[in-house]
Structure 1
């Protein structure tokens, strides 16, 4: 058997035990599959890589994929060196050809990228059983491995990132390794001269700007900062955020506040309410949200929701006045908050 466990992949990448044959790289995380294949390609190309020896194929784009892969795998290098055939997006349909090539002990190294494969999938099954093949699983990163990846990248480039900035970056990124690497590389490039990354840098360069703008609007309204709300609304409208998105997000927020206020009155602590929120509340907003739950009464929250409902109805009746109705409703809500 030549199937590797996930824990063995790192060791194999550092020192592959094949000089030719087939390596299947598969898993649900496309970014990690691609990155792992890149690392293997770099290893087999060596320091003085000849680009003529690298053949890159997209399985779905080939008219006759079986014949093409077989031909490329058996073609000798024109100027010496090992031929590398990289096949992207392989499916179970490629299994018979790859099984045959594995049995023939071809001189080339064939790197096969695939999606998530179960033990019953033929592509994985035949290559796990072949002596001249290896099957490498690439499962999605967890929070710990992504944290390690980010810290290593910043350290290798001698860039210091503040703890709150690193936490914000982790909160905003998903678990795709390629996306994570791309965002960290962007920050490293940005900090090429200062060698420092702050929370503001992360929020500016990596944040979901539309979501950040909406959060600023609802928190300004909910905490009674009228002038700040007016400025946030102007920026949002100028950047193309539609009034319907603002009103919908505001209604969701104040409806949620009503539910949390009721729980608080029943004895649940503010920390429990905010820390248990789903989806999670970003740490930079937690104090503001706690303030809103504590200071808004159930009656005033009901009034706020009614104002938003009315604004939504008005914007549907007269779309040309949507900005005016949105601004009027939220400024009225901010005024209520400012009085308490």
Structure 2
């Protein structure tokens, strides 16, 4: 079925039991990813549980066309519900073939499936099958207005008893407009900067214009680029030196980690949207000149499984730094070296 825009939030928060396959698609890659995460949290207790969640990439089902069927028919090892997450850049004959068999009752399914795809046109076979299916739902993800993104920011900040001052709101809107996933990253940095409601003892907090300039992409980005860019280009020596300078200048290791995660997301968003200047704009990176050329170099090194692995390494590092007493500086430093070595390997 085709989910109407007014029903999307309700579907993500309370997925209908009769629907087993969810296709998220559209030109707004950040929103596709964000809604995929929301849906995953609604479908399984822990979206990061490897026993409950299987992750597949486009390369996985290209190299093994039966991989999706195998993942969907596998029984749960723990007795609970299972989820399969499939990430695509566009239409997929293998995924469409499985979905056609599933709707016809010829493909067993012991799990629910969330597909995150690129901008599928109306003639796309996968999109057509999901929109016309009885046990599948198609959810289109198009660019949101500035008001929609600010409402999203207010929601996340409100959960931590934080509000945006009027002048901060005016500065913040252009930084986050057009990409839900990048917006979440910037909002989480502000929450980390101010502290969670629990860390503040429940006291309300107000985010000022100065906070935005200090914490978000407009402030401190150049210093963080001196760490993140060499790592993603395969220069561990420069990345390590930049990291040492960043720490000496007062930047936090967590800030460096967030910058790396943001750049990984930008590479993914740009690639999903086609990699042209318009795609770079949607990813929130420069479209022309040396900065754009640098980003394209990074994008050529980080594709497919390699990019997925980089995201997993960053996620594992984030989990590690949240543990009490964790050596945060060392964890992030080791992550940067591993990323740089991965880029070195890709360049050979």
Q: TM-score, normalised by structure 2?
A: 0.56
Contact 1:165 1:199 in 2 (8 A): yes
Equivalent of 1:205 in 201, 207, 215? 215
Cα distance in structure 2, aligned partners of 1:186 and 1:5: 32
Aligned equivalent of 1:300: none
Aligned equivalent of 1:91: 91
Aligned equivalent of 1:327: none
Q: In the TM superposition, what whole-angstrom CA distance separates every residue of 1:247-276 from its partner, at most 9, and x where no partner exists?
A: xxxxxxxxxxxxxxxxxxxxxxxxxxxxxx
Pairwise CA distance, 1:49: 8.3
Relative to 1, partners in 2 of residues 1:211 and 1:16: Cα closer, same or farther, differing over 3 Å? closer
Cα distance in structure 1, aligned partners of 2:166 and 2:13: 31
Residue-pair matches, total = 212
Contact 1:6 1:139 in 2 (8 A): no
Relative to 1, partners in 2 of residues 1:99 and 1:48: Cα closer, same or farther, differing over 3 Å? closer
Equivalent of 1:179 in 177, 182, 185? 182
Relative to 1, partners in 2 of residues 1:3 and 1:84: Cα closer, same or farther, differing over 3 Å? same
Structure in which a larger fraction of residues adopt helix: 1
Aligned equivalent of 1:56: 55
* Stretch deviating more after TM superposition (61-70 or 34-43): 61-70
Pairwise CA distance, 1:207: 4.3
Relative to 1, partners in 2 of residues 1:103 and 1:64: Cα closer, same or farther, differing over 3 Å? farther
Q: In the TM superposition, what whole-angstrom CA distance separates every residue of 1:207-245 from its partner, at most 9, and x where no partner exists?
A: 435999xxxxxxxxxxxxxxxxxxxxxxxxxx9xxxxxx
Pairwise CA distance, 1:44: 1.4
Pairwise CA distance, 1:14: 2.7
SS in structure 2 at match of 1:66: coil
Contact 2:13 2:39 in 1 (8 A): no
SS in structure 1 at match of 2:113: strand
Contact 1:21 1:107 in 2 (8 A): no
Q: In the TM superposition, what whole-angstrom CA distance separates every residue of 1:254-305 from its partner, at most 9, and x where no partner exists?
A: xxxxxxxxxxxxxxxxxxxxxxxxxxxxxxxxxxxxxxxxxxxxxxxxxxxx
Pairwise CA distance, 1:48: 10
Cα distance in structure 2, aligned partners of 1:124 and 1:48: 25
Cα distance in structure 2, aligned partners of 1:189 and 1:206: 11
Relative to 1, partners in 2 of residues 1:92 and 1:63: Cα closer, same or farther, differing over 3 Å? closer
Which structure's CA Rg is the greater one? Answer: 1
Relative to 1, partners in 2 of residues 1:65 and 1:28: Cα closer, same or farther, differing over 3 Å? farther
Structure 1 portions without partners, runs of 5+: 213-238, 240-340
Aligned equivalent of 2:10: 11
Q: TM-score, normalised by structure 1?
A: 0.57
